[in-house]
Chains A and B, each alone.
Chain A
Amino acid sequence: DAGVIQSPRHEVTEMGQEVTLRCKPISGHNSLFWYRQTMMRGLELLIYFNNNVPIDDSGMPEDRFSAKMPNASFSTLKIQPSEPRDSAVYFCASSKTSRSGELFFGEGSRLTVL
């Protein structure tokens, strides 16, 4: 099993630019989560999909952030326009069911906004 695959692993961009982070969940998993990790705020849930449908997006910081899951094998998290305070490690995770609690995390995308 390839695990959860995220790209890019590292992204450095300038303030105002659009950033797109990508995630391929484990095949057969029907729940997908986007988290953000910073030293100050720890691990924050941004959005959670079940069967490709967004269930809880209350953690999305503001309208600059958007997430999509067009099919069971792909999700994107987009930031437009990006700001320095968006600098963080963004993790995608998937689980077999919405009640599993056993999440499989990707290696993360480290975003630096200058």
Chain B
Amino acid sequence: AQSVAQPEDQVNVAEGNPLTVKCTYSVSGNPYLFWYVQYPNRGLQFLLKYITGDNLVKGSYGFEAEFNKSQTSFHLKKPSALVSDSALYFCAAFREYGGSQGNLIFGKGTKLSVKP
């Protein structure tokens, strides 16, 4: 079965420090991978995606993610965390049905807390 795992329910980081939010995946074929962010009482917002090419993908708000095929991982990173980065982060993988149809499989989410 195809799945996305986020092993940490919560990540705590001090402002200015680098942050990493972990994600591993299990999908058939070439993986299309995504990160979304959810602020309190809001819908999810797209951050970045990996389709093919460079293993380091840059996205919104200074975030980047590193695709590692051998480790089946797609960790989200940021060199210097801000308090305003505190939110719920979701990793997702595209699941294809065939006939160009498909949808996203989401991980359970990781709550990022950045303290001043």
Residues of A whose CB lies within 8 Å of any CB of B are: 4, 33, 42-43, 45, 48, 50, 55-56, 91, 93, 97-99, 101-108
- In contact, B44 and A101 (Cβ under 8 angstroms): no
A-B contact pairs, 30 of them (CB 8 A): A4-B43, A42-B106, A42-B107, A42-B109, A43-B90, A43-B108, A45-B103, A48-B103, A50-B101, A56-B97, A91-B43, A93-B43, A93-B44, A97-B100, A98-B100, A98-B101, A99-B101, A99-B102, A101-B94, A101-B104, A102-B49, A103-B104, A104-B46, A105-B43, A105-B44, A105-B45, A107-B41, A107-B42, A108-B41, A108-B42
Alpha-carbon distance A91/B102, docked complex (angstroms): 18
- In contact, B106 and A43 (Cβ under 8 angstroms): yes
- In contact, B44 and A102 (Cβ under 8 angstroms): no
- In contact, B94 and A99 (Cβ under 8 angstroms): yes
Alpha-carbon distance A105/B41, docked complex (angstroms): 12
- In contact, A91 and B44 (Cβ under 8 angstroms): yes
Alpha-carbon distance A82/B49, docked complex (angstroms): 37
- In contact, A56 and B103 (Cβ under 8 angstroms): yes
How many chain B residues touch the partner (CB < 8 A)? 24
| Residues of chain B with a CB closer than 8 A to A101's CB | 32, 34, 49, 92, 94, 104
Q: How far is the CB of A104 from chain B (nearest CB, A)?
A: 7
- In contact, A43 and B34 (Cβ under 8 angstroms): no
| Residues of chain B with a CB closer than 8 A to A102's CB | 34, 46, 49
Q: How far is the CB of A35 from chain B (nearest CB, A)?
A: 8
Q: How far is the CB of B91 from chain A (nearest CB, A)?
A: 11
Known: A43-B90, A101-B94, A102-B49. A107 touches B43 (CB 8 A): yes
